[in-house]
Amino acid sequence: QKEVEQNSGPLSVPEGAIASLNCTYSDRGSQSFFWYRQYSGKSPELIMFIYSNGDKEDGRFTAQLNKASQYVSLLIRDSQPSDSATYLCAVNEGEYGNKLVFGAGTILRVKS
């Protein structure tokens, strides 16, 4: 059973700070990595994906991937109260398409 591990949190950061969310995965063959955001009572929505080692930036979000260490992270700069949500790390497996394995999620709370 392939596994994706996340600290459940909650991770509390003050408004304007950098939030750092971490994820490790067990399958060395995984090629695609995703971060989904889920607001309370809502469904997950994709916010970032990364395929290659290194950093990928999109606005205030940066995804970081280190395949050798089997580690993915998400940095949120200038955190806002509206960023308060559960962040789900997902990793692909399977021969066809993108069958995703999700972590249990990290709760982020941004305090104003």
Partner 1 sequence: DVKVTQSSRYLVKRTGEKVFLECVQDMDHENMFWYRQDPGLGLRLIYFSYDVKMKEKGDIPEGYSVSREKKERFSLILESASTNQTSMYLCASEGAANTGELFFGEGSRLTVL
Q: Provide the binding-site residues for partner 1, judged by CB under 8 A.
A: 1, 4, 8, 32, 34, 36, 42-46, 49, 88, 90, 92, 96-105
Q: Which is nearer to partner 1, 40 or 112 (CB)?
A: 40
Q: Which is nearer to partner 1, 42 or 77 (CB)?
A: 42
E strand residue ranges, 1-112: 4-5, 11-14, 19-25, 33-38, 45-50, 54-58, 61-66, 71-76, 85-93, 99-102, 106-111
CA 66 vs. chain centroid, Å, equals: 13
User: At closest approach, how far in Å is the CB of 50 from partner 1?
Assistant: 10
Q: Which is nearer to partner 1, 8 or 80 (CB)?
A: 8
User: At closest approach, how far in Å is the CB of 49 from partner 1?
Assistant: 6
User: At closest approach, how far in Å is the CB of 15 from partner 1?
Assistant: 27
As beta bridge partners, residue 97 has none
User: At closest approach, how far in Å is the CB of 33 from partner 1?
Assistant: 9
**Residue 100 to residue 34: CA distance in whole angstroms:** 9
Q: Which is nearer to partner 1, 42 or 111 (CB)?
A: 42
